[in-house]
Amino acid sequence: MNTPKELKYSRDDEWIRYEGEEAYIGITDYAQSELGDLVFVNLPEVDDEVVAGEALGDVESVKAVADVISPVSGVVLEINEDLLDDASLINSDPYGSWFVKVGSIGDNVELLSADEYEEYRG
């Protein structure tokens, strides 16, 4: 399991990377591995609000669908349209494949460090 130290993690298997007042959100290596070959992604639209602990979109593998739970509340500034064309990017590079960039960040769910997340999913 690949777990970069510089990221924070949620117990719902999302990662978050803060850049100043904004943050990028994606799903972890563990999540993509559990889901298997990803074939489809549903993303919110720019300017949509996301709420900490609630679904911001979903990902589908050949066999299953899973909600992507937002670790923070905020407003969507940007979406990664590459994932709409090719969801398998998430399998090959889960930490490069951000789903959304969020600003106006308010609440967040409990976030774990890389070590804590590895222990949680280890």
Select from 2-10, 15-23, 57-65, 96-104 the region that touches another protein (CB under 8 A).
57-65
Quick one: 87 or 105, whose CB is closer to another protein?
A: 87
Query: Site for another protein (CB under 8 A): which residue of 5, 63, 81, 122?
Result: 63
Q: Is residue 39 part of the contact set for another protein (CB under 8 A)?
A: yes
Number of chain positions touching another protein (CB under 8 A) = 12
| Residue 108: strand, helix, or coil | strand
Residue type, 75: V
Distances (CA, A) of 84 to 6, 15, 52: 26, 19, 23
Quick one: 92 or 113, whose CB is closer to another protein?
A: 92
Query: Site for another protein (CB under 8 A): which residue of 1, 4, 78, 84?
Result: 84
Rg (C-alpha) for the chain, rounded Å, is: 13
Q: C-alpha dihedral over 114, 44, 68, 13, to 10 degrees? A: 0
Q: Is residue 60 part of the contact set for another protein (CB under 8 A)?
A: yes
Contact of 22 with 49, CB cutoff 8 Å = no
CA 86 vs. chain centroid, Å, equals 16
Least Cβ distance, residue 44 to another protein (angstroms): 13
Select from 10-18, 22-30, 53-61, 96-104 the region that touches another protein (CB under 8 A).
53-61
Please give the structure tokens belonging to residue 10. Answer: 């949620």
Residues 102-121 that bind another protein (CB under 8 A): none
Residue type, 13: D
